[in-house]
A and B are shown apart, each in its own frame.
Chain A
Amino acid sequence: MLGKTAGSLFWMARYLERSENNARLIDAGFRIALTRSTTAAAEWKSVLVTAGVDRAFVGAHGEYTSARVVDFMLRDPANPSSILSVIKQARDNARTARTALTREVWEAVNTNWMTLTALLKRPVRDDDLPDVLTAIRQQSAQVRGALNGTMLRNDGFNFSLLGTFLERADNTARILDVKYYLLLPSVAHIGSSIDNVQWETILRSVSAHRAYRWLYGAEISALKIAEFLILYRQLPRSLAFCCERMEDNLAQLERGYGAETEAGTMARALCHERLSAPIQTIFDSGLHEYVTAFLRANAALARQIEHDFRFVE
């Protein structure tokens, strides 16, 4: 397979994952802004910081109001992470990799772009927002369904999965990075009801609030949330799950190509060194430092994949 094609599959999947993650972030932010207007601005700021576009937003809009942030995150062409920008990028990458996609996958990506472009032609009113966010998630699910149901389990499939999990791990780690202070035991109002809403938001932004309930019952604690999002291998958005998948995808590529890669070694190290310690150890040595180091390692892995499989010259 061409290196360029592999890179396009990887980036197509990253952008698709990003659109879904951003829809989730907007959803969580919107919910808290509706119910707790006093902290709305701070909440929107953390959404923008998580998406890595806070500075761009402040430069262009200044004030954090729901309408402005939502429009910026959904539709602004100047925002490289807006849903519109991201689905266009996903489609352009799919077009470049068209020969490595089944007709079903290509049509799902193209339909995703056509449907959402039409939905986002005008600013979205508050009462339409839930429907629009649902549509974004549904469109992503369609693409994922087509990928799973129709693609050959070959190198191309592994490159698209690598993109998905790399982006997802990045997203979960960023949420932790922005919200880590809420999870620190030293915070004065620990255990108060104020935290519960904030913690719910964290869980909601990775669609894991129900899963948490099933697993841990009514008891919400910072330690447990962190453990859940970082180490719990059955949660499809946890760091451990994503890294395990990447390790596996890279191992399959190495087997197929009959050669070990530097990226494979890095993924194995990520899984076995960073994600095997108990959560208490992570807290003891500093949650923030841990998350920052993870983000750096994840980004380094992305660069190594790009290099090992010759995405670019």
Chain B
Amino acid sequence: MLRGKGGRISFFDEMTSQEGGPRSPYREYCDWFYAEDSQRIQHKTQQAEALFRTTGITFNVYGDADADERLIPFDVVPRIISASEWRRLSRGIEQRVRALNAFLYDIYHRQEILRAGRVPTRLIARNDAFLPMMMGLDPPGGIYTHISGTDIVRTGANEFYVLEDNARTPSGVSYMLENRETMLQMFPELFAKVAVREVGDYPINLLKSLSACAPPKCGGTPTVAVLTPGIHNSAYYEHSFLADHMGAELVEGHDLRVVDGRVQMRTTQGYKAIDVVYRRVDDDFLDPLNFRPDSMLGVPGIWDVYRGGAITIANAPGTGIADDKALYSYMPDIIEFYTGEKALLPNVPTWRCSEPEHLREVLDRLPELVVKEVHGSGGYGMLVGPAASKKELAAFRAKLEANPGNYIAQPTLSLSTVPIFTKKGLAPRHVDLRPFVLMSPQGITITPGGLTRVAMTSGSLVVNSSQGGGTKDTWVLED
């Protein structure tokens, strides 16, 4: 964190260097931008919105009955990452996802890491996402984390941190793809000027990666399906987008049933077996016979088919333990334990409120910290100390003291900024990055870039779309 005149905090801006000129990855873009008529860009921005509405890339906000469907704001200024920055990031991400998969295998088998005392047993035993039924089960190809989204933040020219490992069901990849599509439609000349790496092959890579994880009982070309909770789910657009672009069927629980020991879908010509299901439904809802009996979203008996090696479920059931924010704080140890290497990308320093010393420090420094629920997501239920009122701080303090094990705390990071386009010109806003990672026995594929989320309000550090955050196209430059 840099402090400018008068102690004001200044942030690392990814476009503009401290001397005032553009940083090197942005040089060509800035040349183009400053030669453009800003009226034209303004006009294109409005076009982009109309384009998104027609395409139907909308999302539903939970608990908001009035706003039936909303658009995630899209900003036309790309976020640009140089080839060398990306090399470094992708190596770190790959290492992390490999370690995570090895960790999941270990937890559901011999639990060496617990025996070695590197991760406390209670973090697993008390983890709601831990599925004892997965013990000793070998998922096809040994893969648990078929798809993950590693959230990364930047605080300086060479400072990147991993903020979260989303191994459950990371969403947003359709925005990554549609953002690029929109930029290509609006500013085709830009892509002739700047050599930007492709992202459009993600759906095909996803299909290949999922197919490579087909179960032992699959004969021939695997049939892949995407399981969605239905059109009212907030990410339905993404589910249909991915199914459509993979050429896979988009199924709901009521399209499926177990017939002759296989999971089969009801087609116009009778039941047809599927081999790999990319489910966008939580573990609890997968199988009303074996998990939540009131679930209408899943398939009765799918668990038994899974155990019998006749279907692949991606991501594997029980993978969610890795999304726990208390466990996150052990990631450096986890990486070292399974890869024998130091973590290439650092964690954000994290206080575990379950530990009395940590809790004391967190309570002392509450106004400067960010506190999160260990199982939380989407920016819900968190405290941003510097932005909170005295009343909010007091209320949170009480919650923390009542149930410290439910929380972790982190310093308020000075997230890097990238400018957004406003009526008054460019204005810096905080961003993060979610690269999307595919894993199969054939290897790991990371799409260059990922989804850049941006806080649209000046000064805000919350980038979640459920809290008014927007997105940008993310460019990784060719070497």
Contacts and interface: CB of A to CB of B under 8 A. Distances in A.
Contacts of A114: 53-54
Nearest to A308: B268
A1 B53 CA distance: 28
A224 interface: no
B266 A99 contact: no
B228 to A, nearest CB: 10
Interface residues of A, number: 23
Interface centre among B254, B255, B266, B268 (most CB of A within 10 A): B268
Interface string B241-264: 001100011111011000000000
Contact of A2 (B240, B244, B255): B255
A180 interface: no
Interface stretch (A33-41, A104-112, A127-135): A104-112
Contacts of B56: 95, 106-107, 110
Contacts of B265: 2
Contacts of A5: 249-250
A236 interface: no
A103 B56 CA distance: 10
B231 interface: yes
A227 interface: no
B266 A92 contact: no
Contacts of B250: 2, 5, 98-99
B268 A1 contact: yes
A273 interface: no
Interface in B19-34: none
A259 B270 CA distance: 12
A98 B240 contact: yes
B269 interface: yes
Given A310-B267, A313-B266, A2 B54 contact: no
A111 B268 contact: no
A4 B255 contact: yes
B86 interface: no
A259 B269 CA distance: 9
B320 to A, nearest CB: 27
Contacts of B249: 2, 5, 99
B55 A107 contact: yes
Interface in A144-170: 155
B54 A110 contact: yes
A92 B236 CA distance: 12
Given A95-B231, A99-B249, A309 B268 contact: yes
Contacts of B55: 103, 107, 110
Contacts of A99: 240, 243-244, 248-250
Given A98-B250, A114-B53, A155 B268 contact: yes
A3 B268 contact: yes
A252 interface: no
Contact of A95 (B236, B248, B252, B270): B236
Interface in A108-140: 110-111, 114
A191 B268 CA distance: 51
23 contacts: A2-B250, A2-B255, A2-B266, A2-B268, A3-B255, A4-B252, A4-B255, A4-B266, A95-B56, A95-B240, A96-B231, A99-B240, A99-B248, A99-B249, A103-B55, A106-B56, A107-B55, A110-B55, A111-B54, A257-B268, A259-B269, A309-B268, A313-B266
Interface of B: 53-56, 230-231, 236, 240, 243-244, 248-252, 254-255, 265-270
Interface of A: 1-6, 92, 95-96, 98-99, 103, 106-107, 110-111, 114, 155, 257, 259, 309-310, 313
